[in-house]
Structure 1
Amino acid sequence: MPILQHHDIEFKRYAVKLIVHEGKKRADVAREHGISASTLENWVRNYREDKGDSLFGSGYLTPAEEQHQRDVKRIEELEEEVAILKKAAAFFAKNQE
């Protein structure tokens, strides 16, 4: 069974840069850096599809996806705060009667 390797985003960008910006052949970069050709092809395709914003795989998200996750979390926090404030307002209104 092959061992799965996880490469950090900087390594992926470096490998893609060699192909996209420096014109090196995919097969050469794959061989020189011990990357499977199909994995490298996926990185290049993802880079081109996303215009360089991200390289998918190993849990990496695009900046837009990261922002979306932060926004969703913040919305959930604010909704919880609103619910607490509504309960507090109802409690104090009930006690003033």
Structure 2
Amino acid sequence: MSTRKNFDPEFKREITQVYLEGRRTATSLAEELGLHVNTIYKWAEQFKTDPENAFPGSGNLKPEDAELKKAQRRIKELEEEVEILKKATAYFAKNSK
């Protein structure tokens, strides 16, 4: 059974820059670090897409993802409130007759 290795964002950034600058190949880096070569490619793609927020870390989200999650949570709360109010309206309408 293998254990998953966790690398901090700074380490990923350094390895990615070494690969992207052409100083080392993804294959040689992967062999040295004991990773699959696709991991290096994935890190490089994340870095090229958004260098500032490429590796947010475990449990952390990019700012736009955090906003989206907050909005989704608020929508769910409001939908629950609407359901409660519908039930309350039906209850009072039924009992007011």
| 8 Å Cα contact 2:9-2:57 kept in structure 1 | no
1:15-94 alignment, distance < 5 Å: 15-17=15-17, 23=21, 25-27=23-25, 30=29, 34=33, 36=35, 38=37, 39-48=39-48, 50-52=49-51, 53-55=53-55, 62-94=62-94
Distance in 1 between the 2:41 and 2:33 partners?
13
How far residue 90 of structure 1 moved from its aligned partner, in angstroms, is 2.2
Runs of 4+ in 1 over 6 A off after TM superposition: 56-60
Aligned-pair identity (%): 35
**What is the SS of the residue equivalent to 1:4?**
coil
- Corresponding residue for 1:96? 96
How far residue 58 of structure 1 moved from its aligned partner, in angstroms, is 6.9
Unaligned runs of 5+ in 2: none
Distance in 2 between the 1:11 and 1:35 partners?
14
Count of residue pairs brought into register by the alignment: 93
TM-score with structure 2 setting the length: 0.58
| 8 Å Cα contact 1:16-1:40 kept in structure 2 | yes
CA deviation digits over 1:28-56, x for unaligned, max 9? xx38x8364722232012211x2223348
CA RMSD of the aligned region, Å? 3.8
- Is residue 2:5 matched to residue 1:5? yes
Q: Which amino acid in the other structure matches residue 81 of structure 1?
A: E
CA separation of 1:15 and 1:67: change in aligned 2, threshold 3 A: farther
